Structure 1
Amino acid sequence: MNPSVVGAALAVLFTGMIAAADGITKLVSGSYDAPQLYALAAALVALMSLGAARVSKGESLRIRSVKPMIVRTILTVVAAVAFFQAFRLLPFADVFLFIGLIPLIAASLSGPLLGETPRPVAWFALSIGAGGVIFLMPGGVSGAQAGHLWALIAALSGAVSMLLARVIAKVERAPLAQVFWPNLGLAVAMALALPFVWKPMGLMDGVWILAYAVFLFGARYVSAEAMRFLPAYVAMPVMNVQFVWMVAIGIYAFGEVPSFGTIMGVMLVIASGLYLVAEESMTKAQSQEV
């Protein structure tokens, strides 16, 4: 199969998994502090990674790209806490505004970090996506709140973290290691604060934490593989399909109906992502013919 199509399919699968995890984050964010959610869930994800590595027998958790992994782990912690606060303070769909900014941030940094400077036509598609993002904030920049600041921090740290996943993937294929080490770091960092914020948990809340860990493990593994098949500036706009899942979860779980401007904006954002995949696929096909 065409690598671009495989990468796009993996990116779309990632969106469903991560949107489900985000929905659980918003669900529990009103009852528990971030360290309690992430200490438990990240530890579970790290254990899942360890178990998967033992079962597969062909994949090790050892990694040669130590420095990029350390930075990626630190940024994973920052992004997790920032997104938690954003989901706690903002409507579910509003957070997507900043998730939609991640491809633009990645595009601006992919040149110096990855040597994958987008072609002019790709910048055009990214500009369409940026126009879509504008629709997602009907109140304008003047309506910014603390939740928006947290979401911006999350977008910046999340974009660089995913770029580092591409940096590592270009050197070695280690998707399980890319899941294991950031989550181990997140679990350790959150465990330090856990004694100060711990609240007793009911059985159902424990089930939600387990479900969150399962979705997060799947999403992190799939995203690491998607970054192996697609340049970062292509993969990330495709991941904006996540908004469709976020709207559905927002409606059915939280009763948050998106506005017309939000729907128009997301259509532009998703269209830009699909265009980038098509353009990348055609470029690769032409290069192979030559």
Structure 2
Amino acid sequence: MSTIRPRAMALRAAFTVLATIFFFLAFRHLGFADVFLFIGLMPLFAALLAGSMLGEQVTPVAWGALGAGFVGVLCLFPTGFAQLGFGHMVAFLAAFFGTVSIILSRYISRFESNGLAQVLYPNLALLTVMALALPFVWRTMPLIDLSLAMGYGAVLFAARWLLVVALRGLPAHAVTSLLKLQFVWMVLIGAWVFGEWPTAQTYLGAGIIVLSGLFLAYEVPIARLIARHVVRA
């Protein structure tokens, strides 16, 4: 499976590996809530990088929606950080590296339509790096854990492919904002599986996140629709 942008693909694979490693370290040193707070920064990173790397301009209205989405993330975690440490720095870098990988995917999508190539090569790079480290950390896994790992790998592969497809039609900052819907899934799963019922402030934050993500996803179609009516008038 070939690619017509091998250098960009190699960079995307490298940043995907870095993001995966740093996210793993972040989850070792921080709780889920703290790490997901840094994931909430990814749309802001995407908006900042889109201009220099992709030449895509972010409108002031979109900046407002991005800011509102981040406020929604903060509403989900009102207690904040007790102290900053190594885990926070690693989570920050993980979110940044992950955003660069997404930006590169958006760039590659301008030149080729083979979404599977963008999933194959980063995962192949990750497989190679982890295979080199495996002899130093090898532990025999129970069959149930191996089955869960295989299921996780299949779901992750499908999710990354869908992400590449989404980046063909939407700006990077819009796609990363839609990724914040995972906060909502976290709230719902926490209530359903673990009996952790959200507070009113959590529901407020989830609502802000959903609305800001939907606005950014439909910002371009809405703008075109408004412009069309203005021209007709």
Taking structure 1 as the reference length, the TM-score comes to: 0.73
Cα distance in 1 for partners of 2:137, 2:49 equals 36
2:21 is matched with which residue? 81
Deviation at 1:218, TM superposition (A): 0.5
Deviation at 1:288, TM superposition (A): 6.5
**Are 1:219 and 2:159 matched, yes or no?**
yes
Change in CA separation of 1:183 and 1:254 when aligned onto 2, cut-off 3 Å: farther
Q: Secondary structure at the match of 1:144?
A: coil
Q: Secondary structure at the match of 2:40?
A: helix
2:51 is matched with which residue? 111
1:26 is matched with which residue? none
1:183 is matched with which residue? 123
2:30 is matched with which residue? 90
Unaligned runs of 5+ in 1: 1-60
**Are 1:154 and 2:98 matched, yes or no?**
no
**Are 1:277 and 2:220 matched, yes or no?**
no
Cα-to-partner distance string for 1:12-39 (whole Å, 9 max, x where unaligned): xxxxxxxxxxxxxxxxxxxxxxxxxxxx
Cα distance in 2 for partners of 1:93, 1:259 equals 15
Deviation at 1:287, TM superposition (A): 5.7
Q: Secondary structure at the match of 2:110?
A: helix
Amino acid at match of 2:124: L
Cα distance in 2 for partners of 1:254, 1:86 equals 22
Unaligned runs of 5+ in 2: none
Change in CA separation of 1:181 and 1:242 when aligned onto 2, cut-off 3 Å: same
**Are 1:200 and 2:140 matched, yes or no?**
yes
Cα distance in 1 for partners of 2:165, 2:186 equals 22
Deviation at 1:179, TM superposition (A): 0.4
Kindly, what percent of the aligned residue pairs are identical? 45
1:18-37 superposed matches below 5 A: none
Amino acid at match of 1:132: G
8 A Cα contact 1:102 1:155, kept in partner: yes
Number of residue-to-residue matches in the alignment: 230
Return structure 1 stretches of 4+ with deviation > 6 angstroms.
Answer: none
Taking structure 2 as the reference length, the TM-score comes to: 0.89
Change in CA separation of 1:266 and 1:86 when aligned onto 2, cut-off 3 Å: farther
Cα-to-partner distance string for 1:63-91 (whole Å, 9 max, x where unaligned): 01111111111111111111122223333
2:67 is matched with which residue? 127
Change in CA separation of 1:287 and 1:185 when aligned onto 2, cut-off 3 Å: farther
8 A Cα contact 2:34 2:81, kept in partner: no
Deviation at 1:112, TM superposition (A): 0.5
Between 1 and 2, higher relative CO (CA 8 Å, sep ≥ 6) is seen in 1
**Are 1:71 and 2:36 matched, yes or no?**
no
Amino acid at match of 2:44: L
2:2 is matched with which residue? 62
Cα-to-partner distance string for 1:210-253 (whole Å, 9 max, x where unaligned): 10111011001100000001111212111211112222334455
- Alpha-carbon RMSD across the aligned residues, in angstroms, is 2.1
